[in-house]
Structure 1
Amino acid sequence: MKKIFVQAVPFDKHLVTLALESGVDGVIVDPADRDKVATLARTEVLGTDAFTYVTLGGKDDEKTAAEALAAGGRVVLREGWEIIPVENLLAQGQGLGVEVASLERAVLAAGILERGVDFIVVPPSASADLKAIVAELKLSQGVLDLETATVTAVEQAGLGHRVCVDTLSMLRRGQGMLVGNSSAFTVLVHAETESNPYVAARPFRVNAGAVHAYVVMPGDRTNYLEELSAGTQVLIVDATGRTSLATVGRVKVEVRPMLLVTARTADGTLGRVFLQNAETIRVVRADGSPVSVVELKPGDEILVRTDAAGRHFGMRISEDIKEG
């Protein structure tokens, strides 16, 4: 995950407060101002003397930056940098950061050579984009390809331990987690954003499924639902495939009546998921709207993700694995 620093030079308490509330990794200040930040929150505070600042105007400047990196230093390229010199420097070692004047420049810097710079520095002039920069680089995990599958069966499955995942985030309509009996076929299980006459909405919650189920995680990994715990970062996915991160605040594992939902994609791929038999548990229709599992019936289309790769301890491997 890309590190993001705010540069509060000269010191500006309002900017520092905004930075801390936005979730940056640290604050860069004049060395004499370090203690001022330390009283506001627990965060990394760095003096400007911890970096070599370089304005790229020609090959000599690029050489200066390369020498500083080779010596094990951290280099910040002043705004105005161009992609080719940054690529050259990234090929020479770790410790390269750049100033960014906007969200667009931050996204560009984070993707250079498909690796990106090691850290981003947001100067005071870009404070208006700060929250958007943090959200995009810290929370977004790109876009996943979702497809529709047709429900072929909804069957009662007796009692089982199900996992209710309460996050630190308020999720929106259309968002949930990808859960399934197989890592190669996961169903978008909707967050509890909808209310009814009997139960209030709990938009921080995904009632995700049975303890043995796979859940798609950040970094192209999977976990069993039972493995999630407070502090774990999970992948939130919406009906368009856009992703973000949320932190687990609490996991509740309880015995509940379960349903087995089976669905098939247009190419014949079959998948299953065990979900609690309750009106508040929903999956997502092809149009992005949530539908309760108690209303789900054969012929309904729901959103799923298919993935041909096998998994070992949650990591992608090349092996012939069949799960049902």
Structure 2
Amino acid sequence: MTRAVWVKADDTVGDWERRRNRITTALEAGADWVLVDEDDVERVRELGDISVAAFRTGGDVTLIDSPEDDGDGVQPDAFVVGKEGEGDGTIDLPSDFSGSADLSTLRRDADVDGGAYVRILDTEYETFAEAAATEAEYTIVIGEDWTIIPLENLIARIGEETSLVAGVTTAEEAKTAFETLEIGADAVLLDSDDPDEIRRTVEVRDAADRERLDLEYAAVVDIEQVGSADRVCVDTGSLFEHDEGMLVGSMSRGLVFVHAETAESPYVASRPFRVNAGAVHAYVRTPDGGTKYLSELRSGDEVQVVDTDGHTREAIVGRVKIEKRPMFRVALETADGDRVETLLQNAETIKVATSDGRAAVTDLEVGDELALYYEDTARHFGEAVEESIIEQ
């Protein structure tokens, strides 16, 4: 599941200046959507590129295929009903939901993305949200004196019918919404003026989408100098933490953890954006769980960054440097007796994670244990496949 962050910026939050500040912060932070009034859609388009949902408070919906101006005004990517209607309690809910004006609007305009905005005032509104989910691409639920139970109920009952968007006011509430029932809401709608809260909520979204890998240790059974090869340095557009690196290896089933060059050295200055990753033939793990050959990487590609506890994030490749350098062949044996190998440059600045801590490749000895990510699967064009492939 890919999570999303919506930021609320309609007229209930204040004047245009206040709304604009929310929108610009959402753009800068990397939020996915803003929820505004229909009259503000064109203003948002002028501020930057972000998906725009607009409240409809009456009249027909006349969305066009393109968000560009067709002479009748710039259009949103989705419309939302419920404001000043049944969804927020302005109009009483009908006894029979089939007579709902909000639901009728969604049904009438089913050829465009529509959303329902529902404040969970009591169990009847919870039931109304369930009915709206059958018609709406997005179902936005706002808790009143919020408890986790209504959100649990809605995730369980409508989680597969619609994109469920939970209203929150803090990043901490967003984290809870993404984790509820171990499934979580598809998105959150943040109602906050605080720029830091908006940024933290986007960080929570990113963390919720990331893998947590189970790293294990494998024993060094052989290490030897093997002459020169074309070595790849991967320079990213972001800085590494001291315990971060990448997973690389000659065999896709066993990728060795190689530290970024964050440590100071008497020989060369640190390069906290770089991983000296190995030879051109080696694999590197990518954020989608696939692999690429190091030789394939180009500026703008994404690679997976991993820390020694298995937490992951993504980084953009800024530059790839390929140079001929002397190499070590490092052979490892896993706890199951499988043998995997990789080539790493023969240099004191190349560090790997061992069971005793960070160590230079030049200091490795037979019997040392190196951290790696092991999965008993084959790869075809970087994708895991159920196939017998021998790598040696």
TM-score (norm 1): 0.87
2:19 matches 1:19: no
Tell me the amino acid that sits aligned with residue 134 of structure 2: A
Q: CA deviation at 1:70?
A: 3.1
Q: CA deviation at 1:167?
A: 1.4
Tell me the amino acid that sits aligned with residue 160 of structure 1: A
Q: Partners in 1 of 2:162 and 2:381 — Cα distance? A: 29
Q: Is the 8 A contact 1:8 1:124 kept in 2?
A: no
Which secondary structure does the structure 1 equivalent of 2:125 belong to? helix
Q: CA deviation at 1:104?
A: 4.1
2:119 matches 1:55: yes
Q: Partners in 2 of 1:107 and 1:287 — Cα distance? A: 34
2:49 matches 1:42: yes
Residue of structure 2 in register with 1:87 after alignment: 156
Tell me the amino acid that sits aligned with residue 130 of structure 1: I
2:135 matches 1:71: yes
Which of residues 209, 215, 218 in structure 1 aligns to 2:284? 215
CA separation of 1:104 and 1:261: change in aligned 2, threshold 3 A: same
Q: Partners in 2 of 1:231 and 1:48 — Cα distance? A: 36
CA separation of 1:317 and 1:116: change in aligned 2, threshold 3 A: farther
Q: Partners in 1 of 2:25 and 2:343 — Cα distance? A: 43
Which secondary structure does the structure 2 equivalent of 1:61 belong to? helix
Between 7-16 and 252-261, the greater mean CA deviation after superposition:
7-16
Which of residues 118, 138, 149 in structure 1 aligns to 2:186? 118
Which secondary structure does the structure 1 equivalent of 2:223 belong to? strand
Q: CA deviation at 1:108?
A: 3.8
Which of residues 347, 359, 367 in structure 2 aligns to 1:299? 367
Q: Is the 8 A contact 2:192 2:198 kept in 1?
A: no
TM-score (norm 2): 0.74
- RMSD of the alignment, in Å? 2.6
Q: Partners in 2 of 1:56 and 1:76 — Cα distance? A: 10
Tell me the amino acid that sits aligned with residue 257 of structure 1: P
Tell me the amino acid that sits aligned with residue 65 of structure 1: A
Q: Is the 8 A contact 2:280 2:295 kept in 1?
A: yes
Larger Rg: 2
2:7 matches 1:6: yes
Which secondary structure does the structure 2 equivalent of 1:124 belong to? coil
Which secondary structure does the structure 1 equivalent of 2:211 belong to? coil
Which of residues 96, 110, 114 in structure 1 aligns to 2:164? 96
Which of residues 360, 378, 381 in structure 2 aligns to 1:310? 378
Residue of structure 1 in register with 2:344 after alignment: 275
Between 304-313 and 97-106, the greater mean CA deviation after superposition:
97-106
Counting aligned pairs with the same residue, the percent is 39
Number of residue pairs the alignment of both structures matches: 322
CA separation of 1:163 and 1:116: change in aligned 2, threshold 3 A: farther
Q: CA deviation at 1:198?
A: 3.5
Q: CA deviation at 1:306?
A: 1.4
Which of residues 204, 210, 226 in structure 2 aligns to 1:136? 204
Residue of structure 1 in register with 2:321 after alignment: 252
Q: Partners in 1 of 2:274 and 2:126 — Cα distance? A: 49
2:389 matches 1:321: yes
Q: Any stretches of 5+ residues in structure 1 without a counterpart?
A: none
Q: Any stretches of 5+ residues in structure 2 without a counterpart?
A: 57-78, 81-115
Q: CA deviation at 1:123?
A: 1.4
